[in-house]
Structure 1
Amino acid sequence: MKRLLLLFIIAFGSLHAQNDSINKLDEIILRGNFSPVLNSGYEVRVIPDSILKNNFESLGTLLQKQANFYFKQNGNGMVSSISLRGTSASQTGVYWNGIGINSALNGQTDFNTLQANSFDQLEVRKGGGSVLFGNGSVGGAINLKDEVNFNNVQQAGVLLGLASFDTYFTQLTGIWGSDRFYAKISGGVQASKNDYPYLNTSLENDNGAYVNYNLNATLGYKINELHSLRFNTSIFDNDRELSRTLTSESSAKLKNNDRRFLLGWTYLGSRYTSSLKVALLHEDFQYLFDKNISANESIGSSDRLIGKYDFTYFLKNDMFFRAGVEFENARGNGNNINEVSQDDFTGYALMHHEPWRKFTYNLSIRAGASSAYDIPVIYSLDARYLFTTSLSLRGAYSTNYRLPTFNDLYWEPGGNPELKAEFSSSGEIGLDYQLKNLRIGAGWYVIKSKDLIQWRPVTQDFWQPVNIDKAFNQGLEFMASYNCVIGMHFIVLRANYDYTLATDDNSNKQLIYVPKHRAGGVLDYSWKKWGFNYNLQYVGKVFTTTSNSESLDDYLLSDISLNRSFCKDIVTLNVKVNNLFNVNYQSVAFRPMPGRNYVLQFNFKI
């Protein structure tokens, strides 16, 4: 730690201010801490609105197809949790316009309660990111982004669709903008009986119906060329029955309600940027053990007030300093949690330096304090070196943490207020090659974790979380993409392969629900008003017991879609076939996913 601080002091002591124009200011203010400038040694990817807005599907489904991420799903439309680089769902940070939205109750995000086309962009960053992003970003981070564009624009859109298993959906969107104002409002509903048959059995997905409502708004006001204000809100209501398994019936039901509000101010100067965000986040759930008996229920809720300030100052054209502070007051209560409140305060500092044209690095540190637990001091170093204009080497090392949740600390019975934060160290190295329309990337990473929080039995009927587990994750990642234009034919090819070895240090066994092998491929083809997409996903065998004695078979899924635009591109018709070859597969034991199913979708743009 002393060496780290010494590097900061030496670097700042040797600076001489310059008045050069800094183009990176725009990049940093637009992308925030997900900017590639601040993540030189990591892979940062943007999934654009052209992909999001043309597909009415859950965020988890889209990320499986577009980013080769792995999700556990308790059946179609049921609870869906991510595993990034073999880490748990609570070790992947999920952010909404830079504000962390992982549940204060269980630390996770249910990706079936987020509608992908509700947002303008998805920013994906793999690798340990707790220094820049905060609590929980051990495997990586995902940012759901709403853009504000001060341009003269007036647009309206209607998306209508129907699908197998009596599924219906619609989404309405309106955009109005000028050089000073911006407004975007969208809302939609999806309802489904979701009664698909369980392949190779006489059963079907009983008690699987669901209905989702979403409402999102983004407002922007440019005070002048330097100052702007924005307001965002995101509302999602989910009412779903919980599907039966292969071995037992279910009459349970779960209701989730999420309310998010964000007010932000931004200053973009010639030498520095400044941004302030204040957010209110509310979540609550109602779990009915039997949907026909309303009194037999479990309820819980949390409210979070978050204030976040970030500041960037350019000391000279190839060196800048960025820092930020964040305060959070969180309150929670429910059947199993007495009303509790806690305050967290953290701050970080980062130095970005390009000592010569081919070499860039970032050095950063984060520290904090809490009323409920000790927050460790963590740090990060990442760098990129350009061998040529086409070939670069990147590397990173970081320490990270994941804080205990309300359930871990205060659940009655069993909560443990003496828990420590989970701590991990991670490193990675990779090569990236890009020449014209061809891009290839490969990387290797290691994550070593300790003090992992695990609920364990104290007696036959009493469980309690303790800091006990250690884990070691390592893996290889490969991606390649190519696009070309031949006359009026436009072709995009993309392939991904991930090898993940995640073991429990005590047993030296592969962690449950972490596939060693995972691959994906995409073919996009368009000609005149026609478009075709073929998506391939392979998920290797996963173990379902800690002894690795039981497992789920690997599976290969194929999805295709065909679209055609009409009336000067005002109307687009899209036909999809999911699970083309009717594969019988499960991502969670005893919970089959749907066989072949169909989607018909209409997009109207005005």
Structure 2
Amino acid sequence: MVVILMTLSRLAHADTNPSDTEKMRSVKLAINPIPVQPPVLAQVVVTASRMALPLKHTLAPTTLFNQQDMVESGALDLPALLPVVAGVQVVRSGGPGATSSLFLRGAAASQTLVLIDGVRVDSASLGSAQLSQLMLDQFERIEVESGNASALYGSNAIGGAVHIFTKEGGQHAPKLNFSAEMGSHHTQHQQVGMAGALDAAGDTTFNLNGSRLKTAGFAARERQPMQVASPPAYGFFTESIGTQLKHRFTPSWLAGIRFYQSEGAVGSDLAYGCPTDLNLAHNRVRTASIFVDGKLGQVWRTSLLLASSNDQNLNWLNGIFDNHFSTTNRQLTWQNELTLRPKQRLRFGYEYLQQNLDASLYAAASRHLHASFAGYQVGLGAHQLQFNVRRDQSTQFDVAHSYYAGYGYSFDPYWKFTASHSTAFRVPSFNDLYYPNYGNAKLQPESSHAVEAGIEHVSDQLGMTRLSVFQTRYNDLIEAIPIPPAESNVFQLYQAQNIGRARVQGLEATWHGRVLGTRIRSSVTAQRALDETHKRDLPRRARYLANLFATRRLGDWQVGGLWLMSGQRHDNGTLLGGYGVVNLNARYDISRSWYFATRIENLLNKNHELVHAYRAAPRSVYFTLGWRQR
């Protein structure tokens, strides 16, 4: 593959006589005018090193979804979008709203950090974020960084980090938009938003966006042999709102506030209890923040973020309140960036995090974390270097140090080799420590170190291609281990334990670009996630993953499709079969303001399981009518 790409690259960038080039270009334009496409090289990310960088300059593999990408994907929520990323698996026990877990490069959900506008939204009890509660309506862009990121963000970033940015206003008069969707399972989805500037100069901008989703759902569990009636369908209802107000005081200084909340209720048929039990959960994810960003001089940029987030889970069993978990994260982040030379930047800062948990099943718990971090990035001709180091101190555990060392070498303007070595850690969640008949107060934090090497090619003609090989080794990995029969009782079958050593090795190949006007994203991942202590595969990690997403503009139509493939996985001692799922979507612009869209999920009605004993969604069809002010 690399040889073919190098040959195509030489042909695409070969020297040509200027006059001949102009003649060929004139002939092509006369026959078929070519629409101007946004260049691949112009994309910008801000997560791979906590600095704003063009995508081609990042060393850590980073996947970017802008608003156009999210619309063209046809995805409704974050769990439906993320499987397009190389090495990502999302397992969901049912339809929208059902519990969803993210596996990134073999790392579990609690080992991948999720941030909304730079604010942590993970539950202190579970150690992971409520992905199923995160609809895409309020999001401007999403960036996924693969690989150890603790040197940048601290605990829970062993597998990587998912950065979500809510919508912002623009420097134009306020504009309104809305849409309404109906479809399978009695689904109703409405969205309305307004964004723009409050003054003629465009110094004060705002965004306000709200959405509502209601669906009757489907029966996710099969009827058991002794069960008289089939399990009922459990619905999902959620309302989300996002708002942002920002003011630029001078060309160098701006400040603003952000608020996001998604709150809803979902029913579920749990794997334990009586078949007739009715389980209802009320979930909420909320963030609120104040930020200031500006320059203290020509070379010194500083920013301050004060934020609070809340993750809440309330549960009812057969109409009787059962239990609750409510996490409050209070966060302060102060970051500075010094531009020493055009290609030489120094970053340093301080972060404080206070986590408080109010839980009904065990005593309330809290902890404080203090962190200092620094990073240095420099370009020396064809060479690129990046160093990051971070020191985290927790009131529960000893000091943890993590670092990242990355190197890149550009063979020419299009080809680059990268390599990195990094360390990461994760502190146990409060459930790991204290949950009745499961928690283990003697647990130690997980730690890991990772090595990675890759080669990539980036050009406007051939898009972006990357081939990566990686290995992550874990020490003190926390897993649920069965208790020996002699020690167990009817209530205690599993306990959280540090199992010793584990290893994930993998190979990723990704490409995105354009072919004859069709925009394509694709990836193939081969990996092995092994519990070295017990000589077995880690649960729910497939050895092979692949995806192909294509979208094309045909006049007033935008059509697209997504194919997802997963190999076999083990789950609770059961081997789950591999699967391939096809989704289609289309959008028609009725006028400059009105549009009609449709999408089909699981086109071939593939009967498969993402979680043992829970069926994935059957074939579903949805229709949308929308309007946007021009």
Given the two structures, how large is their TM-score scaled by the length of structure 2? 0.85
Distance 1:186 1:160 in 2: 14
Alignment partners' CA distance in 2, 1:215 and 1:128: 32
Secondary structure of 1:165's aligned partner: helix
Matching residue of 1:469: 500
Show the counterpart of 1:602: 625
- Give the direction of change, closer, same or farther, for the CA distance of 1:35–1:474 in structure 2 (3 Å limit): farther
Alignment partner of 2:520 out of 481, 493, 498: 493
Q: 1:51 aligns with which of 69, 87, 105?
A: 69
Structure 1 unaligned runs (5+)?
1-25
Tell me, yes or no, if structure 1 residue 590 matches structure 2 residue 621.
no
| One-letter code aligned to 2:69 | I
**What amino acid is the match of 1:477?**
E
Q: Which residue of 2 aligns with 1:10?
A: none
Contact 1:207 1:244 (8 Å CA) reproduced: no
Q: Aligned partner of 2:279: which letter?
A: A
Equivalent position SS for 2:498: strand
CA distance in 2, matches of 1:349, 1:500: 32
1:274 lines up with 2:302 in the alignment: yes
Deviation of 1:512 (Å):
1.0
Matches of 1:31 and 1:172 in 2, distance apart?
Answer: 32
Q: Distance in 1 between matches of 2:165 and 2:412?
A: 33
1:37-116 matches, within 5 Å, as 40-53=58-71, 55=74, 57-65=76-84, 69-77=88-96, 78-116=98-136
Q: Once the 2 structures are TM-superposed, how far is the Cα of residue 203 of structure 1 from its aligned partner?
A: 7.8
Note if contact 2:301-2:336 (Cα within 8 Å) is conserved in structure 1.
Answer: yes
| Equivalent residue, structure 1, for 2:313 | 285
Task: Name the SS for the 2:431 alignment partner.
Answer: helix
Identical aligned residues as a percent: 17
Matches within 5 A, 1:218-257: 218-243=244-269, 248=275, 250-257=277-284
Give the deviation of 1:146 after TM superposition.
2.6
Residue among 47, 50, 65 paired with 1:33: 50
Aligned to 1:505: 532
| Counterpart position of 1:187 | 210
Distance in 1 (alpha carbons) for counterparts of 2:510 and 2:47: 26
* 1:329 is aligned to 2:354: yes
Contact kept in structure 1, 2:352 and 2:370, CA below 8 Å:
yes
Distance 1:141 1:94 in 2: 6
Distance, in Å, in 1 between the alignment partners of 2:434 and 2:140 is 37
> What is the correspondence of 1:380-459 to structure 2 with a 5 Å cutoff?
380-412=404-436, 415-438=439-462, 439-456=464-481, 457=483, 459=488
2 CA distance for matches of 1:432 and 1:56? 28
Which amino acid in 1 is paired with 2:605? N
Per-residue Cα deviation, 1:185-222 (whole angstroms, up to 9, x for no partner): 11111111113587999986614111011011111011
Provide the rounded CA distance (Å) in 2 between the counterparts of 1:94 and 1:242: 24
Q: Secondary structure at the match of 2:400?
A: coil
CA deviation map 1:283-312 (0-9, x unaligned): 22112232x3x14x0112121211110001
Alpha-carbon distance in structure 2 between the residues aligned to 1:28 and 1:511: 32
Does the 8 Å CA contact 1:274/1:310 hold for their aligned counterparts? yes
Equivalent residue of 1:131, what SS?
A: helix
Counterparts of 1:382 and 1:285 in 2: how far apart (Å)? Answer: 39
**Structure 1 length-normalised TM:** 0.89
Shift of residue 318 of structure 1? 2.7
CA deviation vs aligned residue, 1:474-520 (integer Å, no higher than 9, x gap) = 000011223156xxxx3112221011100001222111100001100
Q: Distance in 1 between matches of 2:608 and 2:220?
A: 12
C-alpha distance in 2, partners of 1:364/1:454?
29
* Whole-angstrom CA distance in 1 between matches of 2:48 and 2:455: 23
In 2, distance between residues paired with 1:326 and 1:197?
A: 42
Query: What is the match of residue 509 of structure 2?
Result: 478
Q: Flag the 1:92–1:169 CA change in 2: closer, same or farther, 3 A.
A: same
Deviations 1:348-371 (A, max 9, x none): 1111122x2211111111112111
Query: Once the 2 structures are TM-superposed, how far is the Cα of residue 125 of structure 1 from its aligned partner?
Result: 0.8
CA distance 1:62–1:29, change in 2 (3 Å):
closer
Give the alignment's Cα RMSD to 1 decimal: 2.5
The answer to whether the 8 Å contact 2:510/2:522 transfers is yes
Distance 1:431 1:200 in 2: 50
Q: How many residues align?
A: 569
Of 168, 178, 181, which residue of structure 2 is paired with 1:158?
A: 178
Per-residue Cα deviation, 1:114-168 (whole angstroms, up to 9, x for no partner): 0022110001111100001221111111100135455124221101101101111
Residue 316 of structure 1 corresponds to 341
Tell me the SS of whatever aligns to 2:80: helix
* 3-state SS, counterpart of residue 377 of structure 1: strand
In structure 2, give the amino acid aligned to 1:505: E
Q: 1:308-337, CA deviations, whole angstroms, 9 ceiling, x for partnerless residues?
A: 100011222332210121111121122123
Q: Higher mean Cα deviation, 102-111 or 61-70?
A: 61-70
Matched, 1:571 2:594: yes
**Counterpart among 362, 372, 390 of residue 366 in structure 1:** 390
Corresponding residue of 1:18:
none
Give the deviation of 1:561 after TM superposition. 1.4
